[in-house]
Structure 1
Amino acid sequence: MSPIKNKFWPKGVPATGTVPHVTLPHYLETAALRYPEKTAIVYCGRRITYRELKQYTDAMAGFLQQKMQLGKGDRVLLMSQNCPQFVIAYYAVLQLGAVIVPVNAMCTTSEIQYYMSDSGARCAFVAQELLKQLAPCMQSNQEGGLQHVMVHAYRDFVEDLDDPDLPDFVKHGSDFALTDGMVLFSDALNAGLVAEPVQTGPDDFCVLPYTSGTTGKPKGCIHTHATLLGSLVNSAIWRHLHAESVMLSVAPMFHMLGMQNGMNMPIMLGATLIMMPRWNAGLALKLMEKHRVSVWTAPPAMVLDCFSQADALQRDLSSLALLSGGGAAMPEAIAAMLKERFGIVYNEGYGMTETASFLHCNPVENSKRQCLGIPTQGVDSRIVDPATLQELPQGEVGELITSGPQVMKGYWQNEPANKESFLERDGRIFFRTGDLARIDEDGYFFMCDRLKRMINVSGYKVWPSEVENTFYDHPAIHEVCIVGIQDSVKGETVKALVVLKPEYEGKLSAQELIAWARENMAVYKTPRLVEFVDELPKSNTGKIMWRKLQAEQNNPLGEKA
């Protein structure tokens, strides 16, 4: 069965997109030829043109090849906050036919050790403040460790070190001693080396991002230039993006959301990206106004934080034409506020590391709130029974399986996981997402929850996301996370961890909130427990860390979950 166009399918968008038969570095080269003096990146006041970005990338590729002997297929760790060096390293490695292994900047030494060993990486790029976590993984400290480490300082690309908006970590200079195997990023750029051409193609393996490891060890996702471009090209057409778009880039680039939307997308288009090294809501508003940002992709928690700022209404955000994202449903109350106060419709989409971000999306002109949207160009998604894998009727909740050009080629060196995660149907290979969803009468997909997040209350299924979205309708709620608490009688009990808006602190009791919830949802879904907290822990991409909270709530004394 081929993908079927929805009746709300956006006009002018083909049912099946054509994935260009080129590589990602092709687009950087093309942008440098087309727009040599156009601003590619604005970073902490510094403007970098496409001509300069290409020159930096070529210089780095030359050093990697000539001095580090980096070759086609070699894996390279990349661990840094957002900065120009991240972009340069990424495209230089891909230019040589090698593979980027993005590493979360919050990773510990043992986690880096795992990524290094599992991927077989022998080279790494690292920001200087993260060197202490990575250094123990070098060959000088352990057998089979990293042979070459390139270290960069954020300040090397900063225009004005006295800028009051600069985070402290960006101002620090190269205040560490180089050991064997280490080299400064700036020295590599200044070496003036030229790389011999490497034959690369669209089906070459180029990026190996790791999943979050919710069950067992994290798994590497094999992505090619074609799978990444399958996501990028179709997203650009769907969302009317073009070379004159100005994009705010703040989601971490080591995560697929930031990598694809905040780096690869603008470079593919020859557009301009306004780069923030780390999230700062007040600064984001200032930059959007100053640089006339037209596109911003961010998770709901980041959007909520931004538009909750006291001066949000005073900022001129009239240039902002598209605000999009995913990772969690945008609460109805927040979406309504964006529409009412700013005239902005949050364009929700759905994707994951395994699908290079963009997979489903709401048509820009026909969006539904708290919705995964519809399968995009060339994507065939279905709802099946998680146990039998039989397709379910419209409206029933089951596991979402999908097939499309952006789906990864498989998990790295993990055949058992591949056997569990892929299935063949109607001549296509489908990926099991592990997400529970349903399809409404218009063909739109709605997330119910992760397959493993469901709370079982006396046999009744409770989807935390549904309860959370209802809670956001209450005027006092700033943020909320619903978790399941082990219960010897009911199996599990629903608990709400709530952050109140400042004006409601001390004025709303847990019992009052529970009573309100009983009036707005089925009794079995209503939290029996409510705890007010100052804040909820979040990942680097702004997602509330519900797994961590659930583990802590069920292990209050700190036992291992």
Structure 2
Amino acid sequence: MMTRHYEFWPKRLGTSLPVPKSTVHHNLEVTTARYPDKTAIIYYGTEISYKQLSNEVNRLAGFLQKNLGVSKGDRVALYMQNSPQYIISFYAILRVDAVVVPVNPMNVKDEVAFYLTDCGAKIAIAGQELIEHIHPSLGKTPLEQIIVATYADYAQQGLDYSIPDVVVKKRVVFDSPHMIEWEEALALGSIPNPSEAKSEDLCCLPYTSGTTGKPKGCMHTHKTMQSNIFGASLWSQHSPSAVSLAILPFFHVTGLQHLMNTPIYTGGTIIVMTRWDRDTAGKLIERYSCTHWICIATMLVDFLANPNLSDYNLKSLKSISGGGAALPKAVGEKLYQLTGIEYGEGYGLSETIAQTHMNPRDRPKIQCMGVPQFDVDARIIDPNTMIELGPNEEGEVILNGPQVFKGYWNRSEDTANAFIQLDGKTFFRTGDIAFYDEEGYFFMVDRVKRMINASGFKVWPAEVESLLYKHPAVKHACVIGVPDPRRGETVKAFIVLNEKCKENTTEEEIITWSKKQMAAYKYPRVVQFLDKLPTSGSGKILWRKLQEVQEQKQR
């Protein structure tokens, strides 16, 4: 296990961190006992105390268990945007010893149906604006009941800053025996049985994508989640006085762990935003004296480009950090000049329920993954020979640590292929190419797996290609990532059309069609028609050749 980074480890912290055997839901119970009247959530003018939060968690948990029959180990889909209901739902599902399946609210009908079928969820909790995408799954997947949440129920109107349309929209009544109103569920006041969950029990199943393009559920226990909750709280100096601006989506492991679970563990306050708006963010930081802000690079670029930025007092901020894509050096310098804060980048995956690497707050490096976290053994190997490499040698990152997942849901072969043995330890193969310097800081180079990083979201070309093939005009499709000044990378599709459709199909029509078939971050922003795609002797499409040609054009 490498220790060269210990020289630059925060002086106040030990390098090892025992993981508690308590459950994630127990964190809320402890905090509520300590600070019942303290504000847990602020949502567009509405303040919710820890006592109220805990009360609503228990009432929803009682309904799930006593009225819908949810029991230990059952998977419950959580398909919603950032809101108080998301937080309540997450902890209510854990309260009845069930498993949370976070579903990206940007996913549409067929994508949602896949998740429900794959995880076997009979119950879902969804935002009302997403019902059109999940309702068709009733009767076609294991899904039987949907609890419907309306964000406007927890928000105030007429504020002096912008409120997203989805939050303003009033409650819609759905006439279906399979749809239950959020307020109706809580009003019954059912009391759940005492929790029987243990540290090693499965509790969260975030989905990622593999090289085949098929999403895979990452099995996380209370213990794997707790390791990063406790680690994040110490590394980022969270305390009961911390106020976090929560704009990264909670369905994503970074938002889930750093912006929801960590503040609840420490007793901090969460300022929840459903949609990104740079002016609203500035006002909220000033109004509530936010201390912690985790964001992606594209968000920070937009924030710093705001001509109204000087109108906001940002002096309360103590920590600004993020990951997903490297922050441009010029942007990091501008942030430091404005706030005196150095942006702290980190690295993690769905398989590690957020961070495995983070930059020390008092000694960060720009465009750097950071150093391995508490008890993380991170190494670089040659991906072909599996031989361990040394400083400044590029190879695949492999990880051993308490936050590493237990495997992929119902995918034993994929699970077996994801791990290797080295020096008597089991390591997870990340598929990411990196190196570490003489001081033990890791730097990303490339990816073994074929993945596009669009605004911090992982887009797997094979998945996009499979959806494109549903278009009747598409004969062949190949998807690559291309540089984008705002998103970091964006999706480009090379398409060969069926002969009979060539005269009646345009590139713009393919893009418009794609918007309706897949999540907003996935659909190709650029489409180029070709007469043929490069192929190998066996007929396999050579995507790397298209990538190389594209890169040559941009030089």
TM-score by length of 2: 0.82
Partner of 1:6: 6
Structure 1 residues 285 and 425 mapped into 2: Cα distance closer, same or farther (>3 Å)?
same
Distance 1:376 1:170, change over 3 A: same
Counterpart CA distance in 2 for 1:391 and 1:174 is 57
Q: Confirm or deny: 8 A CA contact 1:207 1:224 kept in the other structure.
A: yes
SS of the aligned residue for 1:215 comes to: coil
2:263 aligned with 1:274: no
Q: Secondary structure at the match of 2:417?
A: helix
Counterpart secondary structure, 1:359: strand
Q: Any gaps of 5 or more consecutive residues in structure 2?
A: 455-460, 462-479, 488-514, 534-540, 544-555
Amino acid at match of 2:416: K
Distance 2:75 2:379 in 1: 34
8 Å Cα contact 1:232/1:358 also seen in 2: no
Residue of structure 1 in register with 2:258 after alignment: 261
C-alpha distance in structure 2 between counterparts of 1:282 and 1:240, whole Å: 27
CA deviations on 1:263-316 (whole Å, 9 max, x unpaired) are 111101110000001111111111001100000111111111111111113311
- Structure 2 residue corresponding to 1:371, chosen from 368, 372, 377: 368
1:165-180 alignment runs, 5 A limit: 165-180=162-177
- Residue of structure 2 equivalent to 1:52: 52
Question: Partners of 1:174 and 1:305 in 2: how far apart?
Answer: 32
Label 1:67 to 1:362 Cα distance change in 2 as closer, same or farther (>3 A). Answer: same
Counterpart of 1:93 in structure 2 is: 93
1:96-122 superposed Cα distances (whole Å, 9 cap, x missing partner):
100010001111111111111110110
- Determine if the alignment matches structure 1 residue 406 to structure 2 residue 403: yes
Contact kept? 1:3, 1:379, Cα under 8 Å:
no
Q: State the Cα distance separating 1:2 from its structure 2 match.
A: 7.1
Whole-angstrom CA distance in 2 between matches of 1:39 and 1:557: 61
1:25 aligns with 2:25: yes
Q: Provide Cα deviations, 1:201-235, integer angstroms capped at 9, x if missing partner.
A: 11110000000445320010001111011111112
Task: Say whether 1:156 aligns with 2:115.
Answer: no
> For 1:38 and 1:303, how far apart are their aligned partners in 2?
30
> How far is 1:558 from its partner?
12
Shift in Å, 1:556: 6.6
Aligned to 1:73: 73
- The 8 Å contact of residues 348 and 369 in structure 1, kept in 2 or not, is answered as yes
Q: Which shifted more, 106-115 or 174-183?
A: 174-183
- Of residues 288, 311, 314, the one that matches 1:291 is 288
Deviations 1:426-479 (A, max 9, x none): 22211011110011111110000222459xxxxxxxxx99xx9xxxxxxxxxxx
Are residues 556 and 28 of structure 1, via their aligned partners in 2, closer, same or farther at CA, if it must alter by over 3 Å?
farther
SS at match of 1:7: helix
Residue 422 (1) aligns with residue 419 (2): yes
CA distance in 2, matches of 1:184, 1:167: 22
Q: Which residue of 2 aligns with 1:135?
A: 135
For the structure 1 residues 104 and 558, does the alpha-carbon distance in structure 2 shift closer, same or farther, using more than 3 Å as the test?
farther
Which of 333, 348, 351 does residue 336 from structure 1 map onto? 333
Q: Is the 8 A contact 1:5 1:15 kept in 2?
A: no
Whether the 8 Å CA contact 2:357–2:370 is kept in 1: the answer is yes
Match of 1:475 in 2: none
How has the CA–CA distance of structure 1 residues 231 and 555 changed in structure 2, closer, same or farther, with 3 Å as cutoff? farther
Counterpart contact for 1:371–1:447, Cα < 8 Å: yes
1:177, distance to aligned residue in structure 2 (A):
2.1
Residues 1:306 and 2:315 aligned together: no
List runs of 5+ in structure 1 lacking aligned partners.
455-463, 469-482, 484-492, 501-538
Describe the shift of the 1:48–1:558 C-alpha distance in structure 2 as closer, same or farther (beyond 3 A).
farther
Supply the distance in 2 between the matched residues of 1:356 and 1:399 (Cα, whole angstroms): 19
Task: State the SS of the aligned residue for 2:52.
Answer: helix
Query: Identity of paired residues, percent?
Result: 39
Give per-residue Cα distances to partners, 1:152-186, cap 9 Å, x unaligned.
11111113356652211112222242312211011
Three-state SS of the structure 1 residue aligned to 2:336 is helix
Equivalent in 202, 212, 218 of residue 199 of structure 2 = 202
- Distance in structure 1 (CA, Å) of the matches to 2:69 and 2:416: 35
CA distance in structure 2 between the partners assigned to 1:15 and 1:271 by the alignment: 24
Partner of 1:534: none
Contact 1:60 1:189 in 2 (8 A): yes
d(CA) in 1 for partners of 2:392, 2:529: 36
Structure 2 CA distance, aligned partners of 1:26 and 1:167?
Answer: 33
Q: Does the 8 A contact of 1:347 with 1:364 survive in 2?
A: yes
2:186 matched to which residue of 1?
189
Measure the CA separation in 1 of the matches of 2:133 and 2:523.
22
Q: Alignment partner for residue 226 of structure 2, among 226, 229, 232?
A: 229
Number of residue-to-residue matches in the alignment: 482
Match of 1:480 in 2: none
Q: What is the alpha-carbon distance in structure 1 between the residues aligned to residue 11 and residue 310 of structure 2?
A: 33
Deviations 1:50-80 (A, max 9, x none): 0000000011111111100100000001111
Distance 1:554 1:354, change over 3 A: farther
One-letter amino acid matched to 1:74: D
Distance 1:233 1:558, change over 3 A: farther
Question: Deviation string for 1:77-98 (max 9, x for gaps)?
Answer: 1111111111111101101100
Contact 1:60–1:92 under 8 Å retained in 2: yes
Q: Which amino acid aligns with 2:362?
A: E
For 2:40 and 2:9, the matched residues in 1 are separated by 32
* Letter in structure 2 aligned against 1:118: D
Root-mean-square deviation (Å)? 2.7
Question: Does 2:247 correspond to 1:250?
Answer: yes
* Residues 460-499 of structure 1 aligned to structure 2 (within 5 Å): 496-498=483-485
Matched letter for residue 447 of structure 1: M
TM-score, length-scaled by structure 1:
0.81
Determine if contact 2:53/2:88 at 8 Å carries over to the other structure. Answer: yes
Alpha carbons of structure 1 residues 555 and 269: separation in structure 2 relative to 1, 3 Å: farther
Deviation at 1:389, TM superposition (A): 1.1
